[in-house]
Structure 1
Amino acid sequence: MPRTPSRRLLAAALLALSVLAPTAAAPATAAPAAPATRPGTRPGTASPDGLGPELTARLDRAVEEVRRQAGIPGAVVGLWLPGRGSYVRASGVADTATGAPMTTGVFTRIGSETKTFTVTALLELVDDGLVRLDDPISAYVDGVPCGDTITLRQLAGMRSGLFPYSEDPDFDRALESDPTRTFSPQEVLAYGFRHDNDFGPGEKFEYSNTNLVLLGLVVEKVSGRSLADFVRARVLRPSHLDGTLFPSGAEFPEPHAQGYSDETPSGEVADAADWNPSWAWAAGAMISDLPDLRRWAEIVATGRLLRPETQRERLTMLPTGFPGTGYGLGIMETGGWIGHNGSIPGYETVAVHLPEQRATLVLMINTDIRYQGQEPSTLLARAITQVVTPDHVYDGSVPPR
């Protein structure tokens, strides 16, 4: 799916962008976790039963080929195939300045994976009978263009027509001039609301962070709690996601990799680890780790926290305009894999589940710089699934705006 950052969010997706200079990389072997530096951090997941030497070697080669070609400094790959085995690897570097190796025990910014948490929170309110998917957003938030006719369902399914605030040039300049600043939900929405809607409600698909920020406000108004508190109580705790958090600012627990981005005024590569993700809020601000993303990928794809009828609505995939990829309510399907990906300056993730084989794939990389117009996480997920599930190849792309 499209990336969370502002510049080039959806427009010009086919342009080839600058990539990081190649960096020396550690071999793709199972890496020990770095020692935790605060209470609550957890070691990385080791691979207790591999996929056999031949398949493991093919995966090692596939990961390294994409990582080097696309200029990915470091990558964490977790693949679990019940009945066949598992593959958990860290390769490359977590810090290009020091050469510190990437490890499987790092925390990472998860970008648009956050959308799965926000929409799950909304759907729990649906199950509680407190909201309805076909309620207009105007019943909860004032001042939304065409708010009387845009429904919560259309917001969650990326079919509202609301202009993506992260494509507004003034927002772009404000963020790039000071990526450490704090934005409120109301501030970012104002950038989007100054534009006419792109189309009528429900007419077509368009990926827009505006939709998710509005849903975050709905959760807050209806629950009477902050979005972070509600997600913690109703989503994270029941799912036993102890390594996942909704930061209030730029905080980033250790250990984490440094993240490399070209989302700068000059296009030069910068370390984005300490940039403030508040601008992405309900659309992309959360942090997680490998064990939690593995667990969450299965939970969100199977609907463990929701009533069956609500999960069925969630998984009603509508066309995105890109062959083979559908989008439901805060969740996508590509090649049979169900879940989401995420991209925020410096980091990309993929967390998906293949119900047909009960398989789970999690990727965590420390760059968001595109290679020949494509997200590096998509290239990596595609290469891995071509090896292990050739009948179910991941391709999380959608057409440019």
Structure 2
Amino acid sequence: MMAVAALVTIGLGASGCAAAPASPPATTTAPAVTVTMDAAALRGQFADLATELGVVGAAMLVRTPQGEATATYGVTDLGGSTPVSLDDHFRIGSNTKTMTGTVILQLVQEGKIALADKVSKYRPDVPNGNRITIEQLLTMRSGLANYTTTLALNTALDTQQQRVWDPEELVAMGLAEPPTFAPGDGWNYSNTNTLLLGLIAEKLDGMPLSEIFQKRLFTPLGLRETSYPAADDASLPTPFPHGYMYSTNVDTMETSTLPPTQLAQAKAGTLLPSDTTNLNPSWAGAAGAGISTIRDLAHWVEALGGGGLLSPTLQKERLASVQPVPFPLPPLPDPQYGWGIAKIGPLYGHTGELPGYNSFMGYDPVHKVTIVVWSNLAPAADGRPPAATIATSLMKSIYGS
């Protein structure tokens, strides 16, 4: 689903299933894994997959103890001649969730909120709010419906691309839908959870989320090319690639894969994707409206997985909070989800997608491996998320499995 996948993270808009058991403490013993990096081979692999997926442009960054490998592919505009660069700004989609989650955990650290607090303490309007905890919002186990799966939102994204959305009206869409399960009884990737967390953070910190991110995250880490735009700002800082998608949000609600005839036309180049660059991202809010560059995002995910944003104890607990997602999510290997953070294979991080932009960021604090990939086509004509598909392939090459 475009709007569901739009904040495609590990959940890809999946429905709830049985909850997993409590997570065991994180191990500090490194598994017997050999990390290898053949930079030339990784670049070739990246280019081959970008071609296969039909993306307009893409970039990759890989770091291991053996060094760094980067590569770019294609152009910033369909039919244009400006090559993609590592300095390009792109919409990071659900990678933004890791920022919102980090702010909430910093507030926990400061004693302003507790993971065991009931949501009704801060939002009396939430169904089952007296039973839903802050932790369940972070882990996608609240049972609250996902507002991005509603026909109303998908229709509006197709017909009112410059609409400025208030997070309260988006939350209201999610709360108006029946809960998918009782709190704690399942797992369902719902952007409603993260929007609520963003509103709670604003209430506790007494400032807009953009200022909270800048003060707590971007400035301390020196993320000068990362931003959270104002609701009425649909622009991207220069330089930036245009974003592209096939079909419409409504037409792809059931599947992101084009019908066979259109898929053949896309592969032949007779069906072109539409330009979604200026689709106002305020509909994604705290769940996915962020902007960054590939180097800034690499720095962010290394801090996210490696520490420095939280106390050592809370950081360890956050990494230990991840639980297996109770169904496969191709192409992601062994996906897990925790306190506003995903674990994909050995990497902690997230994925993100808005119409026209797909990204993947991951960091392995044991073997010191970083992988970041973005593309400016999302999803591919065959329904695959380009950046996540490429990153998964690179990961398998680096780890040898």
Shift of 1:371: 5.1
Kept in 1: contact 2:86–2:295 (CA 8 A): no
Shift of 1:328: 0.8
Per-residue CA deviations over 1:139-165 (Å, capped at 9, x if unaligned) read 112311111111110001111110000
2:393 counterpart residue number: 383
Deviates more, 1:334-343 or 1:93-102: 93-102
2:57 counterpart residue number: 74
Kept in 1: contact 2:64–2:370 (CA 8 A): yes
Q: Which runs of 5+ in 2 are unaligned?
A: 16-35, 253-271, 329-333
Shift of 1:269: 2.5
Kept in 1: contact 2:335–2:345 (CA 8 A): yes
| SS of match in other structure, 1:351 | strand
Report the residue type matching 2:242 in the other structure: Q
Matched, 1:10 2:13: yes
Superposition TM-score, scaled by structure 1 size: 0.83
Which residue, 174, 189, 205 being the options, matches 1:223? 205
Q: How many residues align?
A: 349
Alignment of 1:2-401 (within 5 A): 3-4=5-6, 10=13, 55-82=38-65, 84-248=66-230, 249-262=233-246, 263-264=248-249, 269-315=273-319, 316-322=321-327, 324-370=334-380, 372-391=382-401
Instruction: Give the Cα–Cα distance (whole angstroms) in 2 for the partners of residues 75 and 147 of structure 1.
Output: 42
Kept in 2: contact 1:185–1:281 (CA 8 A): yes
Instruction: Give the Cα–Cα distance (whole angstroms) in 2 for the partners of residues 274 and 142 of structure 1.
Output: 35
Report the residue type matching 1:272 in the other structure: T
Instruction: Give the Cα–Cα distance (whole angstroms) in 2 for the partners of residues 165 and 383 of structure 1.
Output: 31
The percent identity for this pair of structures is 35
Counterparts in 2 of 1:182 and 1:254: CA distance versus 1, 3 Å: same
Kept in 2: contact 1:9–1:167 (CA 8 A): no
Report the residue type matching 2:68 in the other structure: S
Instruction: Give the Cα–Cα distance (whole angstroms) in 1 for the partners of residues 161 and 7 of structure 2.
Output: 11
Per-residue CA deviations over 1:264-284 (Å, capped at 9, x if unaligned) read 556773111111000100000
Q: Which runs of 5+ in 1 are unaligned?
A: 13-50, 392-401
| SS of match in other structure, 2:366 | coil
Instruction: Give the Cα–Cα distance (whole angstroms) in 2 for the partners of residues 207 and 266 of structure 1.
Output: 21
Counterparts in 2 of 1:275 and 1:335: CA distance versus 1, 3 Å: same
Counterparts in 2 of 1:109 and 1:130: CA distance versus 1, 3 Å: same
Instruction: Give the Cα–Cα distance (whole angstroms) in 2 for the partners of residues 386 and 342 of structure 1.
Output: 20
Kept in 2: contact 1:106–1:254 (CA 8 A): yes
Kept in 2: contact 1:3–1:112 (CA 8 A): no
Runs of 4+ in 1 over 4 A off after TM superposition: 264-268
1:27 counterpart residue number: none
Kept in 1: contact 2:7–2:191 (CA 8 A): no
- Aligned-residue CA RMSD in angstroms? 2.1
Per-residue CA deviations over 1:303-325 (Å, capped at 9, x if unaligned) read 31101222233221112113622
Counterparts in 2 of 1:234 and 1:212: CA distance versus 1, 3 Å: same
Per-residue CA deviations over 1:342-392 (Å, capped at 9, x if unaligned) read 10111011111011211111111111124544311221011111222224x
Kept in 1: contact 2:7–2:287 (CA 8 A): no
Instruction: Give the Cα–Cα distance (whole angstroms) in 2 for the partners of residues 144 and 130 of structure 1.
Output: 20
Per-residue CA deviations over 1:201-230 (Å, capped at 9, x if unaligned) read 111211110000000011011111111111
Instruction: Give the Cα–Cα distance (whole angstroms) in 1 for the partners of residues 251 and 193 of structure 2.
Output: 29
Report the residue type matching 2:393 in the other structure: A
Shift of 1:97: 2.6
Counterparts in 2 of 1:138 and 1:374: CA distance versus 1, 3 Å: same
| SS of match in other structure, 1:105 | coil
Shift of 1:11: 6.1
The higher relative CO (CA closer than 8 Å, separation ≥ 6) is in 2
Shift of 1:137: 1.0
